[in-house]
Structure 1
Amino acid sequence: MATKEIILNKIQILITNNFKSPEEAFNFFDQDGSGKLSKNEIVKLLKDAEISGFIRGLVATKLIEGYDKDGDELISWEEFKFAIDEITDESK
């Protein structure tokens, strides 16, 4: 199975190569315009980041568990930004 570092690196590459900013990426994947990413929206992000289909659902669940600070099982812009900042710090 892909390690956390590989998965986070693939997400960083996706955002860096396809969007002007993390906020643009967030808005792109927030397909319903709710201001939060649902598990299905996170799975779409993982698919675009070329994460294996077999583990996408599990990875999405783990990302929500790890970054959902308010317990609503969604990822808000603030939570997404925190995750991106952590990914960026780990790549230095």
Structure 2
Amino acid sequence: MASKKAILNKIQIVLTNHFETPEDAFNFFDKSGDGKLSKSEIVALLKEAEINGFIRGLVSSKLIDGYDKDGDDKIDWKEFKKAISEIAKDVK
């Protein structure tokens, strides 16, 4: 299984290489346009980051568990920014 650092590194690469800003990435993956990333939208981001299919489900659940502060089982823009800043710190 891929290490946490390897997974975070892949996410960081997708966000920095494919998008001008983290907000562009958020808006791209927010397919429903509701201002929040659902589990399926997070799975799409992880798929883009070439995270293995089995691990995508686990990682998306962990991301929601760790960053969903309002308890709606989704990641809003504020929660996403916090996750991105922590990913950037962990990758270094």
TM over 0.5: yes
2:69 maps to what in 1? 69
Aligned length in residues: 92
Q: Which amino acid aligns with 2:16?
A: T
Q: Which amino acid aligns with 1:86?
A: E
1:55 maps to what in 2? 55
C-alpha distance in structure 2 between counterparts of 1:23 and 1:32, whole Å: 15
Q: Which runs of 5+ in 1 are unaligned?
A: none
Runs of at least 4 residues off by over 3 Å = none
Deviation per CA, 1:7-53: give whole Å up to 9, x if none.
11100000111000000000000001000000000000000000001
Q: Given the two structures, how large is their TM-score scaled by the length of structure 2?
A: 0.95
Identical-pair percentage: 68
RMSD, matched Cα:
0.8
- Secondary structure in 1 aligned to 2:34? coil
Q: Which runs of 5+ in 2 are unaligned?
A: none
State how 1:12-27 maps to structure 2 within 5 Å: 12-27=12-27
